[in-house]
Amino acid sequence: MNRLLLGAVLLGNLRVTVSAPVMLAPPTQVRFDSVDYKNILHWTPPANSTSSLQYYVQWKIYGEPEWLDVDGCQGIQKQHCDLSAVTSEPMEWYYARVHASLLPSSKSAWALSPRFNPLWDTVISPPVLRLNVTQRGIVVRVKPPKQPVRKMHSSLQYEIYLMHTNGKKEVFELDCCLNKLTLKELGHKEKYCLQAQTLIPFQDKSSARGSVKCVTTL
């Protein structure tokens, strides 16, 4: 009897402690970085986070109620996710969101990106120039931006900048259907430098100028 009473007292003094799930801080600086319609979502890990954090990414079209998981971006440890396949409609507006998780039960709130539109928010690359010096002058061949840009914009134009050593500058325009320009009536054995940029006329949008390339005439 005494043993039963002692056992009851001991059980009464025991307290079962249940740990509540720890709420993680959410990722920060969630944003789309888009170049030539390759739409990559980036984010910054929460402050004081560990390298074992996992991230889960979802997306939706602006105005739609349902969030959808991004395939290949569930339980990942990298801090970026390629959403090009699910954000391919140039006229749509999109949102993405990401939350952090630390197994077995800790997770953060969702962190939301700004609204994103591929057509207006993507950055267009400058064309690449290949130069060949001949007796007739400088032959400029233009390698256009990547295929997604050409697919979205049939009216691309290029501006070719010719820079003389005396400071004079000339600008030549080239339609996207043409990829070759011959610069004539240049001085002999003189150095010329060239740059190019891509133009999208209907958007009044342009790329940055590409790298400078220089040649010396014959």
pLDDT tens-place string over residues 177-195? 778 999 999 999 999 999 9
Residue 148 has a pLDDT of 85
The pLDDT value recorded for residue 105 is: 77
Give me the sign of the Cα torsion angle 101, 104, 106, 109.
positive
Encode the chain (218 residues) as per-residue pLDDT tens digits: 455 444 444 445 545 444 555 678 999 999 999 999 999 999 999 987 777 899 999 999 999 999 999 999 999 999 999 999 999 999 999 999 999 999 877 899 999 999 999 999 999 999 999 999 999 999 999 988 878 888 888 788 999 999 999 999 999 999 877 789 999 999 999 999 999 999 998 888 999 999 999 999 99
Q: What is the pLDDT of residue 5?
A: 43
Q: How far apart, in whole angstroms, are the C-alpha atoms of residue 143 and residue 145?
A: 7
The pLDDT tens digits for 80-124 are 999 999 999 999 999 999 999 998 778 999 999 999 999 999 999
111 to 2, 55, 74, 196, 201: CA distances (angstroms): 59, 11, 15, 39, 36
Q: Are 84 and 70 in contact (CB under 8 A)?
A: no
Cβ atoms of 181 and 210 closer than 8 Å = no
Structure tokens at 55: 């991230």
CATH of domain 28-121: 2.60.40.10
Q: CATH class for domain 128-216?
A: mainly beta
Q: Is the entire prediction scored with pTM above 0.85?
A: no
Q: Say how far apart CA 154 and CA 201 lie, in whole Å.
A: 10
Q: What is the pLDDT of residue 75?
A: 96
Q: What is the pLDDT of residue 3?
A: 54
Residue 38 CB neighbours (<10 A)? 15
Q: What is the pLDDT of residue 169?
A: 95
pLDDT at 152: 86
pLDDT of residue 22: 64
d(CA 29, CA 32): 10
Give the pLDDT score at 195: 96
The residues of the chain that CATH labels 2.60.40.10 are 28-121, 128-216
Give the number of other CB atoms < 10 A from CB of residue 151.
10
